[in-house]
Amino acid sequence: MNNLTMDIVLPILGLLMIMALVVGATIKINTLLIGKSLTKILLIIASILSMFMIIILPIHYFDGTLTWGIFFLILLIIAILFLIAHFVPKLPIVSYLREIHLSNLEDAEEQEQKEVA
Note down pLDDT in tens along the chain; length 117 residues: 556 666 677 677 777 777 766 666 565 555 555 556 677 777 777 788 888 888 888 888 888 888 888 888 888 888 888 888 777 777 777 777 777 877 888 888 888 888 886
Question: What is the model's pLDDT at position 21?
Answer: 63
- Single-letter amino acid code for the residue at 84: I
Among residues 27, 115, 12, the alpha carbon closest in space to that of 59 is found at 12
Report CA dihedral (71, 75, 80, 85) to the nearest 10 degrees.
140
Domain ranges of the chain: 28-116
Residue type, 94: V
Indicate the DSSP class of residue 27.
Answer: S
Q: Does pTM surpass 0.85?
A: no
Distance CA 33, CA 98 (A): 6
What is the reported pLDDT for 30?
56
Give kind and range of the element (H or E) at residue 66. none
